[in-house]
Structure 1
Amino acid sequence: MPHLFESNCAPDTSTCRARIIEILNYLDDVGPIDPDQLIQRSEASECVAGHGLRFADLAPLVVRGEDSRLRLSAAGDDLLLDAGRPSPDWAAQPAEGSSRLRKWQAEALRAWCDHGRHGVVEAVTGTGKSRVGIEAVREAISDDYNVIVMVPTVDLVTQWIRALQENRVKSIGAVGDGSRASFTSHRVVVGTVQSLHSNPPVRPDGKVLLVADECHRYGAEQWSKALHPSYRRRLGLTATFERNDDGIAGLLKYFGGAPVYRIGFARAIADGVVARYDVKLLGVRLSNLERREYDRAEETARDARLQLLAAGFPTEPFGVFLHLVQQAAESDPDPTVSDLARRYLKAFSERIDIMTNASAKLGAARLLAPEVERSRGAILFTRRIDMSEELASVLTECGIKAAAVHSETRRAERQALLTDLKVGRLKVLVAPTILDEGLDVPDIDLGVVMGGSRSRRQMIQRMGRVLRLKGDGRRATFIVVYAEDTAEDITRNDGAEGCLDLIVESADSVTQLTVDRDRLQPGVDDLQLRLKGRGGS
């Protein structure tokens, strides 16, 4: 039998808030008990989601008396009082100035309350997950809590403040970008993780709600101080609760386990929360020169990866492998390993550049121009800044009102471009990852990915940008352009995790566009692209 406050699960196992509350309720009911009884009760506790439990997390919640028996500590008593608050009727009439909650939003809030007001809500982009956070904020304020809304970007600070104000939440202040709000001056503090992590606001009684938007970002060690252990209520919001490194373990522990509620595209479409959509897939070929360069980089990357695996690097998940390789390239004490890591990363980057900048994609953009023109607004997603500029130029040459937006675009100009897209002064924005998450994107109905990302998180974010519910009920179209027989080919079934199933499973129709190479087109790798639709699913 383990020592009382040693962990009874693997180091990366999350602790379940609901199981802790169950144990504390038992202790409160039966009075002081022997340590062995607490261990037995802990091992017998259950969670429908299968979350783990660490005895160590019970330590501050119980106290040992002179008779060596255990009873609730003041912290444990406070936790039970707070966790025992019944869940409001979230589906009832909304507060003044707010619209009625969607069914899934009420369900998510109820699940969060049932888990002791700790937990992550995972909702695909476009479903309205920020409203879940707003209602948690409103409840916290009524219970005499302060609130922190933590976000990854300055743009999101502005968006959250606006959304809270629109829902009649008062006393809101910002931290970061020259602003210095505090709990002394404001009930709600909104700030970036960069501005909050070094000195997070606290209250002596711990009555703070943390709403962590895009919470999958906060597993990195440098942000851990922002996830303050004293905060009694914790709500994480994300489209995909996963990370590419072991930072997920800390997030699981902090928020009390895996997401307490999930909603994907299938449910969102069935509930009428996001738009129905069609999918079109277009594979283009690399030129002869591009193919030779790609194959060379692929061989180098494959050889270096095999040697790194032989040196003890993990086979999967790939995100963890890549994270460790990046660390080894910077600081591994073994020069052989660090050299292998740098060689792998160089070849890996070269592959991305070749796929991203494939000349045939410029030709594909020309031939997709009529579809862009017919849309009510579009976004073209790519990987690199220079390619976003090139694609915008190609579309402009085709008579389309297009502009590139990326990390080198000033914030004020970004907002102006988004406004231009919203009101129709622009037909399309071409962007690398800057529009993947965070920014409010106008009511567009066409998304084109000029590079078939195999990242499920990135694909969910990009789909959500296009599938936001349209005011007039119109459907959306999602086009994926990918280099055939490369790592971005989302139709390949090579055992690696992909995202084709994610794209097609909820689509009303799936069309594989084919490329006619019978005629030449000057300047596009001696290819004439002419799209032909071929239905399929």
Structure 2
Amino acid sequence: MHLTEYNNHAVLEPVSVEQFAQFRDLFKLEYVTFRRFRGRTERTLKTFYYCFYNPKIFSMSFPIGAIQKVEQFMIDKRIEYKYRIHAASGCGKCIYHLPADIISNKYSFQEDAVAQVSQHRRGIFLHPTGSGKTTTMAKIIAKLQRPTLVVVPNLTLFTQTHDVFSKYFAPEPIGKLGDSVWNLERINIATQQTLWSIYEDSKFQTLRNMIDVLIIDECHHVNSQKGGQELGNSWFWVAAKIPAYFRYGMTATLGDKNSAELLKAVTGEVIHEIDVDTLVKRGVLTQARIEMHRILVHNSSYDWHEAFEALLNSTTRNQQIANLATFHCNQNKRVLIITNRIEKHGKILHQLIPNSVFVDGSASSEDRKDAIEDFKQNNHVLIGTIFGEGVDIPCVDVVIIANGGKSQKSVIQRLGRGLRTFAGKNEVLIIDFYDSDGALLERHSKQRYHTYKELFPNQVEVT
């Protein structure tokens, strides 16, 4: 057999139909899906395989990040093979310079992380939210000195990253691919939505041909599986199609087993990791104190849509959120409320809280930027559906997580909104709710509680 490595995929050949049946299980993903039908919830098990077999030429191909486990399988099974490398860096070297003052002893872990790119041309950097991933990305780009594409999940992070890179790499122009702008340079920032919208377009082909380094910020999005109906989501397919020689992901969490496997398929294994506790001790992150307030929510359903409606419509719960926000605001604290529903939650809370500011996904990049700057200058309450991840607001004193849920990824991202350090800030208060309904909401509350306890074992209180 021959195992051939390309930039974004690998090919194993010849592989008989019988042999493929053995290899295929290495790429097996199983998902449990639910749907409401005639008043009851139906459960279905679906199976997907993220490898591709061509029986006409007896060839199996798969994403490049899975090559290590294929090799290990063949070694374990004593299958003889020859390794061939057809991967290549197709673009010429560039010259980028970074200012010397972005290197500090407190952030020396970033230098350790960047050193990994000399040994690994692909991999994941598992760094907590607030650890300076934007600066780490800039250092990786400066280390590799090649044409680069950085993919981000939203307009706020798009603008934020572009501003930071423009400062770091000046006078090097930074390309913008998003927010109705298509301006290609040697270093480019793109929103995932923009790349997916041109996935079949010649623009995307042009971009693919000129990129040597792919960095996916908040790369845990890659692993999202689209509602149990098909393999992967747009993040997975965009990442899989870009043939960058160097491929890296930046995230604070890998997610569940299936999610982590899909993510690693397009970015490789974890090559550098540092935890929250270490960064708190180094003074990179702020200590967190978590309060979970018990509250009765009238719900008996285990269907997520019905339970979530009950949570959003709970007058008692919404008033408690408003009371807590107003109390801390009156203590001269900057309060950030995170929700993910505009009409049914964000606007209701905005009406309940005097002098609050509400920002949703319809706001322009400039309006978002202005809202954040105003929040930094004035002590008030900022409510948003766009602040769940990636947004840099270090001055926030209190984060109120208003929208429940169970996802460990979401909990970690929301926590990160308050962990950044700021002058005069000794700790951040995270307020969540232990929704007592004897059903699904209570189960989700328990899962969030356990996530908090894993991160801050001695700083979680249920009141």
Q: TM-score, normalised by structure 1?
A: 0.63
- The answer to whether the Cα contact below 8 Å between 1:482 and 1:490 also exists between their aligned partners in 2 is no
The residue number in structure 2 matching 1:321 is none
Shift of 1:56: 12
The residue number in structure 2 matching 1:500 is 449
The residue number in structure 1 matching 2:461 is 511
1:262 aligned onto 2:212: no
Point out where structure 1 has 5 or more consecutive residues left out of the alignment.
Answer: 15-49, 59-67, 83-93, 302-347, 514-537
Shift of 1:447: 0.9
- The answer to whether the Cα contact below 8 Å between 1:217 and 1:243 also exists between their aligned partners in 2 is no
Shift of 1:234: 0.9
Pick one of 428, 433, 437 that aligns with 2:389: 437
- The answer to whether the Cα contact below 8 Å between 2:337 and 2:383 also exists between their aligned partners in 1 is yes
Residue identity opposite 1:12 in structure 2: F
**1:492–1:239 Cα change, 3 Å:** closer
Residue identity opposite 1:178 in structure 2: S
SS of aligned partner of 1:469: coil
1:129 aligned onto 2:130: no
Pick one of 373, 379, 399 that aligns with 1:419: 373
Structure 1 CA distance for aligned equivalents of residues 221 and 166 of structure 2: 25
- The answer to whether the Cα contact below 8 Å between 1:275 and 1:467 also exists between their aligned partners in 2 is yes
Shift of 1:438: 2.9
Structure 2 CA distance for aligned equivalents of residues 279 and 364 of structure 1: 16
Look at both structures and tell me which one has the larger radius of gyration over its CA atoms: 1
**1:483–1:99 Cα change, 3 Å:** same
Structure 2 CA distance for aligned equivalents of residues 52 and 474 of structure 1: 44
> Deviations along 1:17-52, whole A, 9 cap, x unmatched?
xxxxxxxxxxxxxxxxxxxxxxxxxxxxxxxxx994
The residue number in structure 2 matching 1:365 is 321
1:390 aligned onto 2:348: yes
Pick one of 282, 299, 304 that aligns with 1:271: 282
Structure 1 CA distance for aligned equivalents of residues 382 and 264 of structure 2: 36
Structure 2 CA distance for aligned equivalents of residues 247 and 429 of structure 1: 32
The residue number in structure 2 matching 1:251 is 263
Pick one of 101, 104, 107 that aligns with 2:112: 107
1:12 aligned onto 2:30: no
Structure 2 CA distance for aligned equivalents of residues 243 and 487 of structure 1: 20
Structure 1 CA distance for aligned equivalents of residues 457 and 288 of structure 2: 5
> Deviations along 1:91-128, whole A, 9 cap, x unmatched?
xxx743534361322222233433x2211112221111
Identity rate, percent? 20
The residue number in structure 2 matching 1:304 is none
Structure 2 CA distance for aligned equivalents of residues 366 and 194 of structure 1: 33
Pick one of 215, 219, 226 that aligns with 1:215: 219
Shift of 1:459: 1.0
Residue identity opposite 1:210 in structure 2: L
SS of aligned partner of 1:436: coil
Point out where structure 2 has 5 or more consecutive residues left out of the alignment.
Answer: 4-11, 30-65, 75-79, 92-97, 224-231
Structure 1 CA distance for aligned equivalents of residues 351 and 72 of structure 2: 59
1:483 aligned onto 2:435: yes
Structure 2 CA distance for aligned equivalents of residues 249 and 201 of structure 1: 29
1:54 aligned onto 2:55: no
1:351 aligned onto 2:366: no
Structure 1 CA distance for aligned equivalents of residues 218 and 141 of structure 2: 16
1:237 aligned onto 2:242: no
The residue number in structure 2 matching 1:517 is none
Shift of 1:136: 0.8
Shift of 1:421: 0.8
Structure 2 CA distance for aligned equivalents of residues 55 and 467 of structure 1: 40
**1:71–1:484 Cα change, 3 Å:** closer
Is the deviation greater in 443-452 or in 456-465? 443-452
The residue number in structure 1 matching 2:94 is none
Pick one of 392, 402, 409 that aligns with 1:450: 402
Structure 1 CA distance for aligned equivalents of residues 195 and 73 of structure 2: 25
For residues 177-192 of structure 1, what are the structure 2 equivalents within 5 Å? 177-182=179-184, 186-192=185-191
**1:364–1:195 Cα change, 3 Å:** closer
- The answer to whether the Cα contact below 8 Å between 2:208 and 2:242 also exists between their aligned partners in 1 is no
SS of aligned partner of 1:379: strand
- The answer to whether the Cα contact below 8 Å between 1:221 and 1:247 also exists between their aligned partners in 2 is no
**1:51–1:218 Cα change, 3 Å:** same
> Deviations along 1:256-301, whole A, 9 cap, x unmatched?
23x2222332222122211012222211113xxxx3xx22x33xx4
Pick one of 288, 293, 297 that aligns with 1:282: 293
**1:511–1:252 Cα change, 3 Å:** closer
Pick one of 175, 179, 187 that aligns with 1:173: 175
1:381 aligned onto 2:383: no
The RMSD of aligned alpha carbons is: 3.6
Shift of 1:9: 7.0
- The answer to whether the Cα contact below 8 Å between 2:406 and 2:444 also exists between their aligned partners in 1 is no
Q: TM-score, normalised by structure 2?
A: 0.72
> Deviations along 1:361-384, whole A, 9 cap, x unmatched?
133135422223214311122342
- The answer to whether the Cα contact below 8 Å between 2:159 and 2:365 also exists between their aligned partners in 1 is no
- The answer to whether the Cα contact below 8 Å between 1:118 and 1:255 also exists between their aligned partners in 2 is yes
Shift of 1:157: 2.3
SS of aligned partner of 2:139: helix
The residue number in structure 1 matching 2:356 is 402
The residue number in structure 2 matching 1:326 is none
Structure 2 CA distance for aligned equivalents of residues 280 and 210 of structure 1: 39
Structure 2 CA distance for aligned equivalents of residues 481 and 266 of structure 1: 24
The residue number in structure 2 matching 1:155 is 156
**1:492–1:380 Cα change, 3 Å:** closer
SS of aligned partner of 1:444: coil
Shift of 1:510: 3.5
The residue number in structure 1 matching 2:192 is 193
Say which structure is richer in strand.
Answer: 2
**1:260–1:488 Cα change, 3 Å:** farther
Structure 1 CA distance for aligned equivalents of residues 81 and 398 of structure 2: 65
**1:230–1:365 Cα change, 3 Å:** closer
Structure 2 CA distance for aligned equivalents of residues 421 and 69 of structure 1: 60
Shift of 1:229: 5.1
For residues 301-320 of structure 1, what are the structure 2 equivalents within 5 Å? 301=303
SS of aligned partner of 2:25: coil
- In the alignment of these two chains, the number of paired residues is 381
> Deviations along 1:224-277, whole A, 9 cap, x unmatched?
144445311111111222379x565443122123x2222332222122211012
Structure 2 CA distance for aligned equivalents of residues 280 and 454 of structure 1: 17
Residue identity opposite 1:194 in structure 2: Q
